[in-house]
Amino acid sequence: MRVNIPSFREEHGAAATLVAILLVVLLGMAALVIDEGWLLGSRRRIVQGTDASALAAAMSCGLQEGQASADGVAISYAQANEANAQIADGYPFYDPSCDAPGGRVTVEFASEEDQFFSPAVGRPATAPVGWRATAVWGAASGASGIMPFMLSAGRLTDCEIPPPDPDYDPGTCHFAFDNGEIGSAQWGQMNFNEWNVAGDAGCSSAGTSTSIDWIRNGSPFLSMNWPAPTYVCRDTGNAVPVWEELGSEEMVGQVRQFPVNDPGDIVGDGIHGQVDQSGALCPPPCSPHKYDIIGFAELRIISVLRGNKGGAEACPGLPSDPNSWCLTAEWVGYSSTIGGEPCPDCPSFGVVAVRLDA
């Protein structure tokens, strides 16, 4: 009996066709998985670089380094994260300008990323990725590590701090405290335990050890209410060891931040200024119960001298009195703070903050 064995040679072509189809599918999957994964990574780098670029440019403007410097750091920060990043035409864009004490800067970057497998399935050989970010700069509305002594906004202005020209060095400034004329004090002790209190709140002394601890270790983070007043109790203790601690050998030469008091509507809106016990405005020579903090300033401590021990000579007009004190401090330039929100509309005394705009 004869048996016929079927031939399978006609299936060889079908197998080749199936392999070819599967190869195309595999290349397509590779294009999607590998190339799209690469694009996601590139986009992440562009986003990070653009955000960093906006923050760096904002900080440069806040530190009054000029637009050329801000433009340069914007590009360098973006390309440090993504080497192929190219800035878009018209950027960085500054509103109102980089020279303003507060504002916004917008940057936009893009790059063309190579696609390794996509061309095999008919897709372009490169793909664009890009991102736009805006950062805000302005006077710091909060700070940590500040000294428990206010500086008068009027006296800072007299000393040209901050200077009208960023390249101008105002040098040293003298701040006088006369216990007999507290209303006109150019600096004075504060109680941080009674920060941001009601205008008619009661006040007390923080105590010598607590005040000295703030001087040595800095304050907790403290923020303002701007545009509403931020009232802080004047420390009634005026303990000699506290003043002496600020002028100690360990503190002299150190750069520290100080809260700034509006003694009498320096802001000019009829709302701000130091107040009496009832919360009524109490401009000099009225003796205040609370200071109104409108900003922060950073200076290097040169000396703290008692009125009868060199203070009267250091601060012209200060009486040679053991209850009087003279602070000599030096402007060291614009600075930044960690954690403080930028306030483009706040008075600027040289301490700035930046953040990404939502």
Cis-peptide into 162, omega within 30 deg: yes
Q: Could you give the 3-state DSSP secondary structure of residue 144?
A: coil
Mark whether 279 and 174 lie in a shared domain. yes
End-to-end, the C-alpha distance of the chain in Å comes to 88
Q: Are residues 194 and 260 in the same domain?
A: yes
95 with 240, same domain: the answer is no
pLDDT of res. 323: 93
The predicted pLDDT at position 165 comes to 83
Phi-psi region of 192 (alpha: psi -120 to 50; beta: other; left: phi over 0): alpha
pLDDT digits (tens, 9 = 90+) for 147-182: 999 999 999 999 999 998 878 888 999 999 999 999
How many domains does the structure of the chain reveal? 2
Q: What is the band of 330 on the pLDDT scale with cuts at 50, 70, 90?
A: very high
Predicted confidence at residue 164, as pLDDT, reads: 86
Q: Does one domain contain both 135 and 161?
A: no
Tell me if 356 is assigned to some domain.
no
In a domain, 151, yes or no: yes
Q: Where are the alpha helices (DSSP H) in 4-126?
A: 12-30, 36-62, 67-81
Residue range 183-187: mean pLDDT, rounded:
96
Residue 283 lies in a domain: yes
Query: Could you tell me if 125 and 171 lie in one domain?
Result: no
**C-beta neighbour count of 102 within 10 angstroms:** 20
Same domain, 178 and 126: no
Q: Given a cut of 60, is residue 3 above it in pLDDT?
A: no
The answer on 178 and 129 residing in a single domain is no
* Res 124: pLDDT: 72
**pLDDT at 149 (0 to 100):** 98
Q: What is the mean pLDDT of residues 18-24?
A: 67
Phi and psi at 261, nearest 5°, equal -100, 140
Answer with the residue of higher pLDDT: 345 or 113: 345
Query: Range of 86's domain?
Result: 12-139
Which SS3 state, helix, strand or coil, does residue 220 take?
coil
- Domain end (from 116, 139, 162): 139
Query: Mean pLDDT, the chain, as a whole number?
Result: 90
pLDDT of residue 173: 97
pLDDT > 70 in the chain, percent: 85
In this prediction, residue 71 carries a pLDDT of 97
Q: How many CB atoms lie within 10 A of CB 14?
A: 9
Q: Cβ of 239: how many Cβ atoms within 10 Å?
A: 17
The pLDDT tens digits for 278-323 are 999 999 999 999 999 999 999 999 999 999 999 999 999 999 999 9
Q: What is the pLDDT of residues 44-77, one digit of tens each?
A: 888 999 999 999 999 999 999 999 999 999 999 9
189 & 321 share domain: yes
Q: Is the pLDDT of residue 252 over 80?
A: yes
Please indicate, yes or no, if residue 345 is contained in any of the structural domains.
no
* 253 shares a domain with 168: yes
Residue 175, H or E segment? strand 172-178
Q: At what angle do helices 36-62 and 67-81 cross, to 10 degrees?
A: 160
Same domain, 188 and 223: yes
Assess whether 108 and 67 both reside in one domain.
yes
Residue 136: predicted pLDDT = 97
Statement to judge: residues 152 and 294 lie in one domain: yes
User: Which among 139, 164, 180 is the end of a domain?
Assistant: 139
Query: What pLDDT score was predicted for residue 238?
Result: 85
- pLDDT tier, 125 (very low <50, low <70, confident <90, very high otherwise): low
- Asked whether residue 349 is domain-assigned, the answer is no
Band of residue 105 on the pLDDT scale cut at 50, 70, 90: very high
Question: Is 196 within a domain?
Answer: yes
Q: Is 246 part of a structural domain of the chain?
A: yes
Q: Is the pLDDT of residue 25 over 80?
A: no
Q: Residue 122: is its pLDDT beyond 60?
A: yes
Residue 168's pLDDT is: 86
What was the pLDDT predicted at 167? 80
pLDDT on residue 118: 64
Q: What is the pLDDT of residue 271?
A: 95
